[in-house]
């Protein structure tokens, strides 16, 4: 395995984790690694499908129900633990040394508001990181609308362009 040619991909919560890993990889956040030891590898590309990027602005962050997905992940509400919300938010780790991103988001996503992907793309752009945001017209949080020829072509383009 070539530790310098790794791409990560994820959908929804997996998109969050792929983004979090790709963006924090060069920040040496030891708490994110087994045994709190950073693994020596480089992520060259992230393919993020509708993953949350900022828990403080994610739809539903204000819900007090202990069984809400955000509260389960954080173990508390965002209001009670903004420090955890920030640490778990991929946008926290954006910097100029991050890998390129292809971000795909549904226009009518009922779970992860499209502003999450717009924010991530804008932060990456501001840092000078190559990224592309595709908003899929009329698409919900997941489904067959994401299995489209133009999206597959963009995925293969990004893999071809950045995994050399």
Residue 156 pLDDT: 96
Chain centroid to CA 31: how far?
18
> How much of the chain exceeds pLDDT 90, in percent?
74
DSSP string, 2-13: -TT-EEEEEETH
Q: Which residue has the higher pLDDT, 48 or 69?
A: 48
| Model confidence pLDDT, tens digit, residues 67-126 | 888 889 999 999 999 999 999 999 999 999 999 999 999 999 999 999 999 999 999 999
Q: What is the layout of strands, in order, in the sheet containing 43-49?
A: 6-11, 43-49, 101-106, 131-136
Over residues 31-48, mean pLDDT = 83
Q: Across the chain, what does the average pLDDT equal?
A: 92
Residue 137 pLDDT: 95
> 3 falls in which pLDDT band (50, 70, 90)?
confident
C-alpha dihedral sign at 54, 60, 63, 67 = negative
Tokens coding 100:
């390129």
């Amino acid at each position: 395995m070539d530790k310098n040619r790794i791409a990560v991909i994820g959908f929804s919560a997996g998109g969050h984790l792929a983004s979090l890993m790709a963006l924090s990889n060069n920040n040496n956040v030891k708490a994110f690694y087994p045994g709190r030891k950073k693994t020596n590898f480089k992520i060259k590309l992230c393919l993020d499908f509708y993953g949350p990027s900022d828990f403080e602005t994610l739809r539903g962050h204000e819900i007090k129900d202990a069984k809400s997905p955000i509260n389960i992940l954080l173990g508390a509400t965002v209001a009670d633990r903004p420090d955890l919300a920030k640490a778990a938010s991929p946008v926290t780790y954006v910097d100029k040394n991050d890998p390129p991103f292809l971000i795909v988001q549904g226009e009518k996503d009922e779970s992860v508001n499209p502003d999450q992907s717009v924010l991530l793309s804008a932060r990456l752009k501001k840092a000078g990181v190559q990224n592309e945001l595709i908003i899929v017209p009329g698409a919900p949080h997941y489904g067959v609308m994401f299995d489209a020829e133009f999206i597959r072509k963009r995925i293969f383009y990004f893999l071809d362009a950045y995994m050399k």
